[in-house]
Amino acid sequence: MEEKGKENGVAAMAACYQGFDPAAYLQYNYTPPRADFERKDSIVPWKLACLHRAFTEGDVGGELLVDIGSGPTLYQVLSGCEVFNQVLLTDFLEVNRQELRRWLRDEEGCNLDWTPYLQHVCKLEGRRPSAWTEKAAKLRQVITDILPIDVHRPQPLAPDALPSAGADCLVSCFCLESVSPDLPAFTRALGHIGRLLRTGGHLLLVGALGESYYFGGPGVKIPVVPLNEAQVCASLKESGFTLIRLEVYTLNQDMRVGVDDVTGVFFAKARKD
């Protein structure tokens, strides 16, 4: 009966996502004030700084970076594409994979202009902002595929998707807590994605703190596992990771724009035992 309950909870979460609207989600979360590159206290610049630092400290490297649950966004691999020769994007929803493919193929109809993001990361790297075109070309060069994924399956990707040794690094942003029905499911999903990573490889995990719901489109209210810092640390340990660093961002009042009830964001850098 317990297994049936787990399956029902996961199925209910999958049903919630049938109305997910990439254009609305991007508008809610990836435009000002949450993505204001003139403000150091804006959420997106904080996330980009955390990722830039993690990818450039010298201990993260190898051949293959896998982004777990990309959604319709690219910001999470803008620093990593300079370190890894291959980048795999993944998502459960075809509408999100379509959004990513449109950008990858440089087609019309993308729902967000990623130019300011590319320019900002170029600045973080000490390059001129006009180098964003080079970074965009590099990103398109190293993204080798955009694959379906289900983090609730013990083998989240197709068996032949990765080399037998696994990926060298995983990045995952706002995925696991927003597709899991409860904390045990979140921890199990963390263990599942850990199987995709080689021993000694790194996980860069970004997620919401204290969030019980978010809107994935007009009227599409999606439940979230409300996490605290201690739970994140415990789940990582239980899933076979050693925490290297945990950073926390607390939302200012003007970042609370009515599309969720998030109170903070965490960034965790961890290594697979």
| Digit-coded pLDDT (tens) for 33-71 | 999 999 989 999 999 999 999 999 999 999 999 999 999
Q: Is 252 annotated to bind ligand?
A: no
The residue behind tokens 């965490």 is 266
With H, G, I as helix, E, B as strand and everything else as coil, classify residue 222: strand
Structure tokens at 249: 């961002």
148: β partners: 91
Question: Binding site annotation covers 25?
Answer: yes
Please check if 30 is assigned to a binding site: yes
Confidence label for 4 from pLDDT (cuts 50, 70 and 90): low
User: Is 228 assigned a ligand-binding role in the annotation?
Assistant: no
Write out the two tokens for 182.
């409860």
Q: By three-state DSSP, how is residue 171 classified? A: strand
CA 48 – CA 44 distance, rounded (Å):
6
Which positions ≥6 away from 262 have C-beta within 8 Å? 208, 209, 210, 211, 214, 251, 256
Structural domains in the chain, sorted by start: 2-272 (3.40.50.150)
69 annotated ligand-binding residue = yes
Ordered strands of the 143-148 beta sheet = 143-148, 86-91, 64-68, 167-173, 197-209, 264-272, 241-250
- Is there a contact between 236 and 172 (Cβ–Cβ < 8 Å)? no
Q: Is 151 annotated as a binding residue?
A: yes
Check the annotation: does 77 bind a ligand.
no
Mean per-residue pLDDT of the chain: 95
d(CA 241, CA 191): 9
6 has a pLDDT exceeding 70: no
Q: For 111, phi and psi rounded to 5 degrees?
A: -85, -5
Helix, strand, coil content of the chain in percent (nearest 5): 40, 25, 35
Confidence of residue 1 (pLDDT cuts 50, 70, 90): very low
pLDDT tens profile 231-243: 999 999 999 999 9
Task: Give percent of the chain above pLDDT 90.
Answer: 91
Query: Nearest to residue 167, comparing CAs of 266, 232, 90, 238?
Result: 90
Decide if pLDDT at 3 tops 80. no
The CA dihedral of 15, 16, 18, 20, to the nearest 10 degrees, is -160
